[in-house]
């Protein structure tokens, strides 16, 4: 009986030991972008040719480290082998840890994919014994907002400062998550050099460096959120070990810091006292209308300039329109901007220059034009009125209403010449020349026209056959149609260079139709997550994929981002390069 029990136990242990397991485990499935993730690939039997997943949305900051456990308990062998990786997420979103593979006893085993959710930066628990805790206490990223309670379209400045305690060093840093100013018009200010300055943080002496400055103009009222800036910083902190001279050895750690969310409360502009001609100007401005000449001849052109200068949201409102006498021909104005964005907001001037051509003699008054804005210092509306101008036209035909056409409703009249020989410019004599012609019958042209239909019959049959084949190719026709649309919209984008909204709308449509043709992507599926998944499955290179996604992001943010013609040209060239690269990789 004892022998049977022993044999049964030995047989069952042999079966259990023969079952091979290979699985993946993660330290957590939800983490902040400033946290680390540990992934372990564990097997109960040794194998060969271990292949980890690509970790394309993570940075491998440690590993692979290998550990082996081999023990005997009650005569049963227990074996475990693990490969461990430490990962740092590159961005927020939902990602998948792919399958790892290994070969054990000639069989290939794979782990199951694991879904990971990466959120914005979160507060980590304090651990005084952890070297990272020392770095967390000695380095801080702060977003300083100039005004947390501005008016609509009033400029505020966000300054990002990196505070570092004395005795702590910073080697380098890189941005891992940039704020998106979706409810603001934004403009980054160039920071020249990163000079360390002395300051205080929560009452203690620190050194700090200004990393970024951004000017924001809120476009909505109410509570608006400013997303955090997150950095990956290489920090040097003192350790407990010392050299022979008593100096501390420095330990190098990677620390992820975040500026944290900031909330501002945007006040609406007051309704009390708002002028009827108010178009959204907020700041402190001067207003004038000027002309390059006030005396001229009929059909001679002059220029009228409507100009607003000062400090405020110069790029975010419309200039008042001119209403001139009907006897003056007025062309569409040429808009120009001379605006600089500095730490306190926009400064400079904007103007509309009208080309005006008088048709008749007369004295033409330019009516007074008013311009209204909200003054943020006095918190009141102000209205500026231009000076009255008069344009004198000394030479030219007279209008029906007389020589002194000084009303805005003057009617244009046909010009009647006083010269009796008013048709002298036209020729009234004719000279005839005889022409001779050859008979058409039996001529070269006669035989060409006669035989041409018979020669064209095979060509017509070939063309008809190709059209029938193409008409039956439904999929190919759809692809060709979408390719034509992509080329069309890319052409429209090129024509719209310099016109921000038209350019980026056309560019986005071109990218959209290109993907529809290549990936059979429907309009409802057009989002960045789906595109990243599909292009990733097609083995598109990371550089090309990032370039395509960055173009889509540029199209989305074009409304709130000031862009020059050079930026649009760069985006257009980038789109052509990315589409060309995708063509090569998707074929």
Nearest Cα to Cα of residue 541 among 90, 58, 54, 97? 54
Provide the pLDDT for residue 5: 47
Query: Would you say 320 and 277 are in contact if contact means Cβ atoms under 8 Å apart?
Result: yes
Report d(CA 257, CA 121) in Å as an integer.
8
Do residue 172 and residue 254 come from a single domain?
yes
Distance CA 145, CA 216 (A): 10
The three-state secondary structure class of 260 is coil
User: Looking at residue 46, which CATH number applies to its domain?
Assistant: 2.60.40.740
pLDDT at res. 236: 83
Which of 240, 266, 292 is at the close of a domain? 266
Let me know whether 22 and 114 are in one domain: yes
Do 143 and 258 sit in the same domain of this protein?
A: yes
**Per-residue model confidence as pLDDT tens digits over 32-51:** 888 888 899 888 888 888 88
Write down the pLDDT at residue 406.
47
Beta strand pairing call for 389-393 and 295-296: parallel
Domain count, the chain: 4
* Shared domain check, 184 and 110: no
The CATH number linked to 501 is: 1.20.120.330
CATH number at residue 136: 2.60.40
31 - beta bridge partners?
118
What pLDDT is stored for residue 410 in this prediction? 39
Q: Could you tell me where the beta strands, DSSP code E, fall in 227-294?
A: 230-242, 248-258, 262-266, 283-291
**Residue 455 included in any domain:** no
Query: Can you tell me the distance from the alpha carbon of 11 to that of 5, in angstroms, rounded to the nearest whole number?
Result: 10
Asked if residue 386 and residue 333 are part of one domain, the reply reads yes
Q: Which one, of 385, 411, 380, lies nearest residue 398 by Cα?
A: 411
Cα 207 to Cα 169: distance, rounded to the nearest angstrom: 10
Structure tokens at 334: 């040429």
Name the strands in the sheet holding 295-296, side by side, starting at the edge strand that comes first in the sequence.
295-296, 389-393, 362-366
Q: Is residue 463 part of a domain?
A: no
Q: Quick one: pLDDT at residue 494?
A: 78
Residues 137 and 262 in one domain: yes
pLDDT in tens, the chain (587 residues): 544 444 444 444 444 445 888 898 888 888 888 888 889 988 888 888 888 998 888 888 877 878 787 776 666 777 888 888 888 888 888 999 998 998 888 888 889 999 999 988 876 555 554 666 777 788 899 999 999 999 999 999 999 999 998 878 887 888 888 888 888 999 988 888 778 889 888 888 899 999 899 999 999 999 999 988 898 888 887 765 665 555 566 778 888 888 888 899 999 999 999 999 899 999 999 999 999 988 888 888 899 999 999 999 999 999 999 888 888 888 889 999 999 988 889 999 999 999 998 888 888 888 889 999 999 999 999 999 998 888 888 887 876 554 444 444 433 333 333 344 434 434 455 666 666 566 777 778 878 888 888 888 888 888 888 888 877 766 666 566 555 656 666 777 777 777 777 788 888 888 777 777 777 665 555 677 777 777 777 778 888 888 888 888 877 777 566 666 667 788 888 888 888 777 777 76
Per-residue model confidence as pLDDT tens digits over 544-587: 888 888 888 877 777 566 666 667 788 888 888 888 777 777 76
Q: How many CB atoms lie within 10 A of CB 106?
A: 7
- At 433 the pLDDT is 65
What is the Cα–Cα distance from 331 to 329, expressed in whole angstroms?
7
3-class secondary structure for 308-364?
A: EEEEECHHHCCCCCCCCCCCEEECCCEEEEEEEEECCEEEEEEEEEEEEEECCCEEE
Would 104 be classed as within a structural domain?
Answer: yes
60 and 83 share one domain: yes
Last residue within a domain, chosen from 266, 296, 327 = 266
Domain co-membership, 160 together with 187: yes
Indicate the residue among 119, 144, 169 that finishes a domain: 119
389 in a structural domain: yes
Please report, in angstroms and rounded to a whole number, the separation of the first and last CA atoms in the chain.
71
> Which range of residues forms the domain containing residue 140?
131-266
Q: Is residue 114, in this structure, part of any structural domain at all?
A: yes
Q: State whether 105 and 141 are in the same domain.
A: no
User: What is the model's pLDDT at position 551?
Assistant: 80
Question: Counting beta carbons within 10 angstroms of the beta carbon of residue 49, is it exposed (0 to 12), middle (13 to 18) or buried (19 or more)?
Answer: exposed
> Would residue 454 count as lying in a domain?
no
- Are 380 and 493 part of one and the same domain? no
Token couple for 132: 């990272």
| pLDDT for position 417 | 36
Helix, strand, or coil here: 382?
strand
Residue 101 lies in a domain: yes
Same domain assignment for residues 53 and 150: no
Q: Is residue 554 part of a domain?
A: yes
The reply to whether 346 and 289 lie within a common domain is yes
Return the SS3 of 426.
coil
């Amino acid at each position: 009986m004892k022998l049977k029990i022993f044999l049964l136990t030995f047989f069952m242990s042999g079966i259990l030991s023969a079952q091979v397991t290979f699985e993946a485990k993660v330290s957590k499935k939800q983490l902040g972008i400033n946290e680390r993730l540990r992934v372990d690939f564990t097997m109960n039997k040794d194998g060969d040719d271990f292949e980890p997943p690509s970790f394309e949305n993570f940075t491998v900051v440690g590993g692979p480290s290998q550990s082996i456990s081999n023990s005997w308990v009650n005569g049963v062998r227990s074996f475990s082998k693990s490969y461990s990786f430490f990962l740092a997420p590159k961005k927020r979103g939902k990602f998948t840890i792919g399958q790892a593979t290994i070969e054990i006893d000639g069989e290939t085993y794979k782990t199951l994919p694991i879904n990971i959710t990466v959120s914005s930066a979160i507060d980590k628990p304090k651990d005084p014994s952890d070297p990272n805790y020392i770095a967390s206490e000695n380095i801080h990223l702060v977003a300083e907002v100039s005004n947390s309670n501005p008016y609509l379209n009033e400029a505020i400045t966000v300054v990002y400062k990196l505070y570092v305690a004395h005795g702590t060093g910073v080697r380098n840093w890189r941005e891992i998550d940039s704020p998106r100013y979706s409810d603001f018009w934004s403009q980054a200010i160039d920071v020249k050099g990163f000079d360390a300055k002395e300051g205080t943080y929560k009452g203690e002496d620190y050194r700090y460096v200004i990393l970024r400055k951004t000017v924001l103009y809120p476009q909505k009222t109410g509570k608006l959120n400013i997303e955090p800036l997150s950095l990956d910083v290489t920090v040097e902190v003192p350790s407990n070990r010392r050299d022979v001279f008593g100096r501390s050895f420095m330990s190098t750690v990677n620390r992820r810091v975040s500026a944290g969310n900031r909330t501002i409360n945007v006040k609406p502009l007051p309704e009390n006292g708002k002028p009827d001609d108010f178009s959204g100007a907020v700041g402190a401005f001067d207003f004038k209308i000027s002309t390059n000449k006030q005396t001229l001849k009929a059909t001679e052109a002059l220029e009228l300039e409507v100009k607003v200068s000062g400090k405020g949201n110069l790029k975010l409102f419309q200039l008042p329109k001119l209403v001139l006498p009907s006897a003056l021909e007025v062309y569409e104005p040429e808009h120009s901007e001379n605006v600089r964005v500095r730490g306190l907001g926009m400064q400079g001037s904007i103007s509309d220059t009208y080309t005006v051509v008088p048709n008749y003699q007369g004295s033409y008054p330019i009516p007074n034009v008013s311009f209204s804005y909200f003054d943020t210092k006095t918190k009141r509306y102000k209205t500026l009125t231009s000076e009255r101008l008069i344009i004198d036209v000394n030479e030219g035909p007279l209008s029906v209403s007389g020589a002194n056409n000084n009303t805005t409703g003057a009617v244009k009249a046909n010009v009647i010449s006083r010269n009796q020989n008013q048709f002298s410019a036209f020729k009234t004599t004719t000279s005839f020349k005889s022409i001779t012609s050859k008979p058409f019958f039996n001529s070269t042209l006669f035989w060409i026209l006669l035989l041409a239909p018979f020669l064209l019959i095979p060509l017509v049959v070939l063309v008809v056959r190709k059209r029938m084949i193409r008409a039956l190719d439904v999929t190919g026709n759809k692809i060709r149609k979408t390719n034509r649309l992509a080329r069309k919209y890319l052409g429209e984008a090129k024509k719209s260079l310099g016109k921000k909204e038209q350019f980026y709308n056309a560019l986005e449509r071109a990218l959209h139709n290109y993907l529809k043709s290549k990936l059979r992507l429907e309009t409802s599926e057009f989002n960045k997550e789906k595109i990243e998944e599909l292009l990733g499955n097609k083995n598109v290179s990371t550089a090309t994929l990032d370039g395509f996604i960055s173009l889509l992001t540029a199209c989305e943010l074009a409304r709130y981002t000031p862009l020059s013609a050079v930026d649009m040209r760069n985006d257009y060239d980038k789109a052509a390069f990315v589409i060309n690269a995708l063509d090569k990789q998707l074929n």
